[in-house]
Structure 1
Amino acid sequence: MNTFYFIAFLSIFFSILVISAKNPVHSILYLILTFFTFTIHYILLNAQFLAIVNFIVYMGAILVLFLYTLMLMNLNKESEPVKANFIKIAAVIGGGCFLVTVVASIKALGASPAVILKDPNLGLVKNLGKVLFNEYLLPFEVSSILLLSAMVGAILLATKDPKTV
């Protein structure tokens, strides 16, 4: 239980660093650390499949894409447009709504009982594999053929025809 609280503290700490970092590249790197702590939470909650998906999809693909996009953008302060007063007022209203939501969720936190899973093997990859390859084998194979044909089509569209060059 102490590990859970320590990782929760790290999640909150890195989340605050995401918001407060001056450099946007550092902000994205802190976001990667935040998602890594989420992966550890999933492992502690015995949800290995969610941990693997979070690690591969969010940390491996989306955040790297954010990092490359941010590095390609021109972030000079001289070229940044001045924000209108309407946008500033909308930001204050949005922040206020977020604050009300956080306060309401903290108040409701003590009222809800703890969730106890009846089946401790619920999030295991082994069980997902058994269901996927026993009950849903035909749709799984059809989708793999569909993805293979889409990949071949994308390669054919991307290559240049030697006759037209």
Structure 2
Amino acid sequence: MQEAFYICALVALLATLGVVTNARPVHALLYLVVSLLAVAGVFFALGAPFAGALEVIVYAGAIMVLFLFVIMLLNLGPDDLPPIMNRKVKWLYAALSAVLVALLMAMDLGRRLPEGGHGPAGEVGAIGDKLFGDYLLPFEITALLLLVAIVGSVVMAHREPRR
């Protein structure tokens, strides 16, 4: 599992770099999907299958579809976006990031990953009891806010042009 963790973490890191450095919004979105799937792999490698499944369903599924619809509604191309930075600054940030990652890996080289959590806090039933018991009102308010956001985005997308 240690190897799977590091492979998924490396894939997540590289895909996230693809998100940040890509000029095309749809390509950046696809890199983000790969990054989120790799983070789900990290959760699975750490012994948290429920968190990994939620990552795949909620983030890699639903949120990415929402982002794709927003990109399609805006119809942005690489020419519509402002230039982020010049090449020298990009290479400086890349070098500093590589040094930071190397330092973090050197500090963590001798450690082993902890065993996955097998207690009542990680079980699906305990999460459901808390979510629909103690936190039912905030859960319903969040659902209502999401519904309002969806209706608002549909209204904004289908607004008649002014004459």
TM bin (shorter chain): 0.5 to 0.7
CA distance in 1, matches of 2:136, 2:78: 49
Q: Secondary structure at the match of 2:122?
A: coil
Normalization by structure 1: what TM-score?
A: 0.58
After superposition, what is the alpha-carbon deviation per residue over 1:37-76, rounded to whole angstroms, capped at 9, x for unaligned? 3323323433133123312331123322332333333315
Q: Secondary structure at the match of 2:62?
A: helix
Is 1:129 aligned to residue 128 of structure 2?
A: yes
Residue segments in structure 2 that go unaligned for 5+ positions in a row? 153-163
CA distance in 2, matches of 1:44, 1:113: 13
Where do residues 1-165 of structure 1 align in structure 2 (5 Å cutoff)?
1=1, 4=4, 8=8, 11=11, 15=15, 18=18, 24-71=25-72, 72-75=74-77, 77=79, 87-88=85-86, 90-117=89-116, 119-121=117-119, 122-132=121-131, 137=133, 139-144=134-139, 146=141, 154=148
The alpha-carbon deviation at position 110 of structure 1 amounts to: 1.4
Q: Secondary structure at the match of 1:106?
A: helix
Q: Kindly, what percent of the aligned residue pairs are identical? A: 22
Equivalent residues of 1:14, 1:33 under 8 A apart: no
Equivalent residues of 1:48, 1:125 under 8 A apart: no
Q: Larger C-alpha radius of gyration, 1 or 2?
A: 1
Question: Cα 1:143–1:93, aligned 2, differ >3 Å: closer, same or farther?
Answer: same
Give the letter for the 1:115 counterpart: P
CA distance in 2, matches of 1:151, 1:35: 21
The alpha-carbon deviation at position 106 of structure 1 amounts to: 2.1
Equivalent residues of 2:47, 2:115 under 8 A apart: no
Give the letter for the 1:142 counterpart: L
Aligned length: 147
Equivalent residues of 2:2, 2:45 under 8 A apart: no
CA distance in 2, matches of 1:2, 1:30: 24
Normalization by structure 2: what TM-score?
A: 0.59
